[in-house]
Amino acid sequence: MTELFAKLNKVEPNKGLITLQLSADDIQTLEKYHVSGQQQVVSLIASDENGVSAQQRKFAFALLHDIWLSQNGGYWVQEIETLRRHFYAAYEYYNGLDFGDFSLSNGKGTKTDTNQFINMLLDYAAIHDISLSVKPLNELEPQEIARWEYRCLMEKMCVVCGKKPSDLHHLDTVGSGRNRQHTNHLGHRAVQLCREHHNLAHSLGIETFMQRFKINGIKIDEKIALAHGLNIK
């Protein structure tokens, strides 16, 4: 069975028809099954605002697959299903849930739990330098982006593409005409960018760049300053 995700565009109850919007990749997958000439059965699960969204589920499974491909973590990553159960159990343990309480299913899972689960997977990927097949800024909900920006500053990885090496890029003017080494950096906004996206930010202009990638920057605190060797006096 292959899991596909779609947005419901139109319902025609009198005709018994619905119109779905799928990604190009999912359409190609569906076509592969269709060319076999056999009748296909598609299962639909509707979700409401409080349930797990299709985008959340797809992103979470993509992260699990990336972690599995990296084979970072030991014997439990040998099978992707074992890896999935491991992270489910870890989430339940650290959040005080009973075994089996966490789920990514539309019927049982919640949007809040799934966001926190995704953040746990992103933390793991960042700490272990795991390459991601999808860009978090394209998948995270707006309220979760700031957390990813902060993690990237701490792990020194580009907030857009996740690449290393990368550099802290100041969004606020830091002491025009003054030596940055003698400037107190606390409270100034910053973002972590690789060379490619650093150049793009200069080319587009920082405001346009931030709007394109839906980032706001993070105010430098003592932890960020320590990680980057910034002056805080």
Measured torsion, CA atoms of residues 111, 116, 122, 126, in degrees rounded to the nearest 10 = 160
The model's pLDDT over 35-67, given as tens digits with 9 standing for 90+, comes to 666 666 776 655 555 789 989 999 999 999 999
The model's pLDDT over 67-96, given as tens digits with 9 standing for 90+, comes to 999 988 777 778 899 999 999 999 999 999
3 state SS for 118-154: HHHHHHHHHHCCCCCCCCHHHHCCHHHHHHHHHHHHH
Q: Give the Cα-Cα-Cα angle 179, 183, 189 (nearest 5 degrees).
A: 115
Sign of CA dihedral 189, 194, 198, 204: negative
The model's pLDDT over 176-211, given as tens digits with 9 standing for 90+, comes to 555 556 689 999 999 999 999 999 999 999 999 999
Rounded CA gap, 157 and 149, in Å?
Answer: 9
pLDDT at 75: 74
Count CB atoms within 10 A of the CB of residue 138.
Answer: 11
Give the pLDDT band (50/70/90) at residue 18. confident
Percent of the chain with pLDDT over 70: 83
The model's pLDDT over 129-188, given as tens digits with 9 standing for 90+, comes to 999 999 999 999 988 999 999 999 999 999 999 999 999 999 887 655 555 566 899 999
Note if the bond before 142 is cis, omega within 30 degrees.
Answer: no
pLDDT at 233: 85
DSSP type of residue 54: H
pLDDT at 19: 83
